[in-house]
Amino acid sequence: MRYLPLNDSDRRAMLAAIGVADADALFQDVPAGVLDRPIALPAHQDELSVERAFQRLAALNLAPSSVPCFLGGGLYRHHVPAAVDHLIQRGEFLTAYTPYQPELAQGTLHALFEFQTQVAMLTGMEIANASMYDGATATAEAAMMATRIAKRRRIVVSGGLHPHYGDVVATYARFHGLAVERLAGDWQGIEDAAAAVDGATACVIVQNPDVFGRIHDLTPLAETCHACGILLIAVVTEAVSLGLLRSPGEMGADIVAGEGQSLGNATSFGGPTVGLLAARETFVRQMPGRLAGATRDVDGRRGFVLTLSTREQHIRRDKATSNICTNSGLCALAFSIHVSLLGEAGMRRLAELNHARAVMAAQRLAEIPGVAVCNETFFNEFTVALPCPAAPVVEHMAAAGVLGGVPLSRLFPEDPLMTPLLLVAVTETATDEDIDRLVATLSAALQA
Amino acid sequence: MATFSGNRGLQMEQPLIFEQGSPDRTAVDLPDVPAVGDRLGGLKRQQPVGLPGLSEPEVVRHYTRLSQKNYCIDSGLYPLGSCTMKHNPRLNEKLARLPGIGDLHPLQPVSTAQGALMIIDACARWLMALTGMPAVAMSPGAGAHGEFVGMAAIRAAHEDRGDARRRVLVPESAHGTNPATAVACGYAVEPIPANRRGRVDIGRLRAALAPDVAAIMVTNPNTCGLFETDILDIAAAAHDVGAYFYCDGANFNAIVGRVRPGDLGVDAMHINLHKTFSTPHGGGGPGSGPVVLSAALAPYAPVPYVVNEGDGLSLVEYAAASDGKPCGRIKGFHGQFGMFVRALAYMMSMGSDGLKQAATDAVINANYVMARLKDVMTPSFDGPCMHEALFDDRFLKGSEITTLDFAKALIDEGYHPMTVYFPLIVPGAMLIEPTETESRQSLDRFIDVMRALAARAVAGDAERFRNAPRFTPRRRLDETSAARHPVLRWRTPAVDRAAE
Ligand SMILES: Cc1ncc(COP(=O)(O)O)c(C=O)c1O
């Protein structure tokens, strides 16, 4: 058993040093009859056998990296530079624990401080934390945070918010005893979220670009909110868009929650990814999660520590701002390394490239008879209306080797208006040939 | 001796990334952007982000140098109690990155991801078999998130009977996430003290149990590294008043393959895949916290979940599609799939025989440390421990050396310290969890160092401890001023000056 260093003679010698006859004596506190009941599971296997088993399982899937892929809806396929995965697999990053002993974790802490800065810069906010589980939980925690700051108990959720995010907000709110008002899925982009606020409202949650791909100027909504003491929470699910769009902070957001997967991280069937949470500095004491901060050591040199932990569960227990402990550290590192590799110019160029390729694909799709692009505006994802239900079309296209998009009925199963709508994401990974195949397979599927 | 560069041999000083490079440089070559009109509706970014630009060699060197300022399980014994810093097999990393695994998209048609659902299903089946529980919710992001789901299911089950209840009983020795979770589920927390043997005081527990108690949250083996001897009575007492038994399974590594929590009366228990099942901690995450559930709680599991009904696997993504009564959705997609891959690879590699041996070896290693240190340090409780050995600061009495000083001195000796000041019920706690992946030789070297340090401490060599660490890239950091004047990000020097 390759992961276990002790052999039988070690065990015997150690048990003798402990002063017991056998290892079972160490389990003496386990109630009688409970120890070693049979467990019907296979025995250990060598590395090659395990690898083969996983290769067989992988072969049962259609690998998005092997086909034209236009899937989005919250997670996006981007090219991640080779250096990212190499660096995050250095054992010093991969196999370290949370940096509770800062003298032994300056690497992690320094990187987290840079991550926080990058997230704050990209979102246009003053500060950011060291990550949450994912974009959806970051959004829910942002909402909980807003209710504590505003000291009000009602949350308004835009119909442009990813429905899974709305569901997570609703779950958290239900158990916190908070009220949630969810506006209907706004595929036409006509919603007036400001009309839904009242004196009990703590926050309004809007997504930009929204789940249908539309880009919004949040400034008027921010002004309305602020006039009523309400916090505006802006959600970003496509972090690459921050390179090209006016930042949520610039448009008046008070808290920004986001999904950082697009930068540095694989889609990995939905996880692990990295939740982003940024805010105005005055709200810092209501923030959930870890924060790295700069300080000095006894010799006066700059160094980093985890700080303001009196917000956190390990100090404050039942009075903590959240129960979160383990976060998404390594995914945050991957995000940060990717952003460092891109730099200012690369970030802008990557975003422009995404947008341009999406514009090209949208133009081509609009030429298919019976297909209409619903969006006036978009970044790298847009909604198209088909003349028939989208879900079977997507199945057809997949059978032809193209992952053509996400049928919105999958995200809004209870809204019949979504049935013919298809959400198409186009990133820098889509080649001209991929777009040709998207158009051809969609045309063919519509005729089938 | 100060050097001219500030470096000391292999210890390199490294500026922040923002203090390097220039904006026109990049480490990512991208093709030209096709000239097509924009569809941004006039909402294009006008301000630069403010990021520095560096080439690939500069970025690689930056992060390589940062990495060299970290201690890690790859480089040494990492005896952090409660954290289970065991070896992270590299096979797992390789498999999580295979095409058809790492690149899968959560919203690709389910018909094109049958292998992925099989991985989730297989991981779930291993966890159910090892815990002896009939159901498992796979989507929680880490242990605390699993606690949330377990407690949410408990609340939902009570509410379903029209009796939400009010209180949750949590031992004082519990991890901070337990009380924080109970509050997040709308409950009032009532602490239960420990007895003199480091276990839940069952008399006090019984006295606190009443029909308004929704659940007890008990860690087993507990945070003192001890098996709760009265566990069956504890479960029965809770059940007698209609409360559920939530078990914090963070310490499952001590008993995996040998004791099934389902045989102990547990109703819900999270499992930290990043502890017992070897997925890496990554400097703080990501983790994964599946929560096993009893038959009574299973209907309240959150969406999404995988259903295996013979003719292919399917995914239930919405409450309306469920034949249960889901407590909601708690994560964006289907859970920490990449961690399921790693944990399943680990379980298949170890097998039921290997897991049982791992638990046994973890317990042997901890008891060996206990046996060889108990004459020079002060064990907090009598009798054998499970996977971690708990000491306190009584042996330091009169030395003017604190637990923290002792931990910092260990750093100078090339070791990551044990967990300190946790559990809270033991003053000056030092919780040592060697795990099963340390060899006897490695433990002997560690023990020799601990004995030598304990001897110096008792001899009154306070300087050595109070000035430690001396050999790390940074020495003790001023945490008080960090919290009093938080600096949570870099700002351009001009902005920084203006703020002062
Ligand atoms: C006893 C105990 N409970 C709960 C947790 C929380 O788990 P996680 O960090 O995975 O959220 C931990 C780990 O830190 C723990 O040690």
Angle between the N-to-C axes of helices B56-67 and A106-123, in degrees from 0 to 180, rounded to the nearest 10: 130
Contacts (Cβ under 8 Å, ≥6 apart) of A54: B95, B98, B101, B119, B341, B345
- Quote the pLDDT of residue B499: 62
Q: What are the sequence ranges of the domains in chain B? A: 91-346, 352-499
Residue B85 CB less than 6 A away from ligand 1: no
Ligand 1 site, residue A7, Cβ cutoff 6 A: no
Question: Does the domain made of B352-499 have the CATH classification 3.20.10.10?
Answer: no
- The pLDDT tens digits for B248-270 are 999 999 999 999 999 999 999 99
Q: Are B128 and B223 in contact (CB under 8 A)?
A: no
Q: Is the pTM of this model over 0.80?
A: yes
What distance in Å separates the CA atoms of residue A352 and residue A357, rounded to the nearest whole number? 9
Interface test mutation site (partner B, options A325, A395, A403, max chain B beta carbons within 10 A):
A325
Closest-CA residue of chain A to B6: A301
Whether residue A97 and residue B320 make contact (CB cut-off 8 A), yes or no, is no
Question: How many Cβ atoms from other residues are within 10 Å of residue A122's Cβ?
Answer: 31
Rounded-to-integer distance, Cα B360 and Cα A26, Å:
9
* Residue A368 scores a pLDDT above 70: yes
Q: How far is CA A245 from the centre of its chain?
A: 19
Q: In whole angstroms, what is the distance from residue B205 CA to residue B191 CA? A: 9
Per-residue pLDDT tens for B193-225? 999 999 999 999 999 999 999 999 999 999 999
Burial (CB < 10 A; 0-12, 13-18, 19+), residue A314, is middle
Nearest to A323 among B42, B66, B147 (CB): B147
Check if A379 contacts B (Cβ < 8 Å): yes
Cβ within 8 Å of B, A 112-131: 112-114, 116-118, 120-122, 124, 126-128, 130-131
| Averaged pLDDT for residues B319-331 | 94
The rounded distance, in Å, linking the Cα atoms of B296 and B281 is: 33
pLDDT at A319 over 70: yes
Strand partners, A257: A235, A277
Interchain CB distance below 8 Å, B367 and A18: yes
Q: What is the Cα B277 distance to its own chain's centre?
A: 11
The domains of chain A, with CATH numbers, are 82-338 (3.40.640.10), 344-447 (3.90.1150.10)
Peptide bond into A38 cis (omega under 30): no
pLDDT score recorded for residue B23: 83
pLDDT at B189 over 70: yes
Atom of ligand 1 nearest to the CA of A323: 11
Q: Is the CB of B223 under 6 A from ligand 1?
A: yes
Evaluate the omega torsion of the peptide bond into residue A99 and state whether it is cis, within 30 degrees of 0.
no
> What is the CA(B177)–ligand 1 centre distance, in A?
7
Q: Where does the pLDDT of residue B390 fall: very low under 50, low under 70, confident under 90, or very high at 90 and above?
A: very high
Q: Is the predicted pLDDT of residue B500 greater than 70, yes or no?
A: no
Structure tokens at A100: 């509770």
Tell me the CA–centroid distance for residue A327 and ligand 1, in Å: 11
Q: Do domains B91-346 and B352-499 have the same CATH topology?
A: no
Q: What is the pLDDT of residues A235-267, one digit of tens each?
A: 999 999 999 999 999 999 999 999 999 999 999
Q: Which chain B residue's Cα is nearest to A381? A: B39
pLDDT band with cut points at 50, 70 and 90 for residue B309 = confident
| Angle formed by the axes of helices B403-412 and B440-458, nearest 10° | 130
ipTM above 0.90, yes or no: yes
Q: How far is CA B100 from CA A205, A236, A268, A348, B281, in A?
A: 35, 27, 9, 30, 24
pLDDT in tens, B13-55: 999 999 999 988 999 999 999 999 999 999 999 999 999 999 9
Protein residue closest via CA to atom 8 of ligand 1 = B143
State the nearest Cα–Cα gap between A199 and chain B, in angstroms: 24
The mean predicted confidence, pLDDT, of chain B is 97
**CATH T-level topology, domain B91-346:** Aspartate Aminotransferase; domain 2 (3.40.640)
pLDDT at B400 over 70: yes
In chain A, % of residues over pLDDT 90: 98
User: Which chain B positions have a beta carbon within 8 Å of A221's beta carbon?
Assistant: none
Q: Is the CB of B219 under 6 A from ligand 1?
A: yes
